[in-house]
Structure 1
Amino acid sequence: MTSDRAILPGSATGKVVAVTGASSGIGEAVAARLAGAGHQVFAGARRTDRLDALAERTAASAADSGGGLHPVRLDVTDRADVAAFVETARERTGRIDVLINNAGVMPLSRLDALLVDEWDRMIDVNLRGLLHGIAAALPHFTAQGAGHFVTVASVGAHEVVPTGAVYSGTKFAARAITDGLRQECDPAIRVTTISPGVVTSELADTITDPGAAAAMVAYRANAIAPDAIAAAVSYALDQPADVDVNEIVVRPARQR
């Protein structure tokens, strides 16, 4: 839900950006960086208390740049909810320029653990959530003759490791869908996939399988800050309209 406050115009170069999964980790960092850079950012997530706190923390830097951060409750597994999220941004500003499909979960486990409910959750959030975002924004981008999709995938979209079969499956699919979208879209609609390596976040907190959780302790020993990914997103958005940054992989230097 959003307030009825009118949104002030952004800076001359500011865009209207919708970010999913913005209550923590990469999504939070992306929303904060872009609002501080003069964009009007609609930050979507289920945990609205965290979104409200984020809006308060970024208020001063956003105001200085002509940007703003606007919390919106969002469940990406609900197609109607995602459509309403995108429509909220469009209605309150007159357009939508960027959709950043960032929401994701990572409850890793071996397949023989048979944690089917967790498999379903990953498919619903990581894959259906992405598709819901595309379905919501693509008609607006097409009508405008411009727009930018950004998918936050993972290095798991490039490799598979034990306990990561389903997670990587969703990320391989997200990468494939995003590149298919790029090939099908009008060239005026830009499409970018960002694949982060180990980043400080809450992703590992969703792991319930003891073996997978133990393996993550060593794997995540060398993590980079979420703002490193936010910087990559900002770079892709800041390119001239005729430059489409298709894919970026960002890892900690120690992650091989």
Structure 2
Amino acid sequence: MSIGTERSAGAAPRTADLWLRTFRPAPQAAVRLICFPHAGGSASYYLATARALAPGIEVVAVQYPGRQDRLAERRIEAMPELAEAIFDAIGAVSGPIALFGHSMGATLAFEVAHRLEAAGRTPVCLIASGRRAPSRHRDTGLHLLDDDALLADLRRLSGTGAGILADAELMRLYLPVIRSDYRAIETCPPRADVKLRCPIVAIGGDRDPQASIDDVRAWADHAGEGFSFRAFSGGHFFLDDHASAILDLIRAAVRPSVRPAGPEGSALGG
């Protein structure tokens, strides 16, 4: 099954077409990995991941409104509304699914997993990357800061290139997206009492200023069936420096029989 492919001219978009992108269709894959971007991120962050994991795993990347080909759409600043829309879109994805989310994407993946399980569709697993567990939720108020303070936070996290940060025109488009995403994650309702039935794998960077090792380990509070944790060296975007190891971790978590890919099997984000 292919999600998010090109539509014919004039065709009305389906919900799945708006929200989901399949960069490397793998219709024979045993499992589909739904990937949720970080705050300010977009589906294309998982382009290299899709190439690396196919054909054993089909990557389906979520595209939030207000960026890239959805730039003109209203940004959603409430986590429950985002989660409901993505949950509806995932209904078009057939077969077993697993969820992967980085930073804000991890919390959003958790919200979607909770809805999927309530509807009787338990994911294979949830892989939460670089994010405090929902039981450790706190509003840091970043969405209320001025543009200079938001830029300072982006520099602190080291996930945005210096050239991009110095481009005033790009920042004029990018900062409102960041602010909206921060508002969604910081005002997310508390979920300390929610446990999932599916296994949870949590990963984090040992020098992440946004999610300490203890806060990432606390995802164990939400795992009903199984939990594992692994720390990597690095900051908030540690996964960019450990792509090969994290791809292997994904393969092991979602389908133990999936073998490493060929030459493309060493890239994660990008």
Alignment TM-score, normalising by the size of structure 2: 0.43
Q: Which structure shows the higher helix fraction?
A: 1
Query: What is the TM-score of this pair, normalised by structure 1?
Result: 0.45
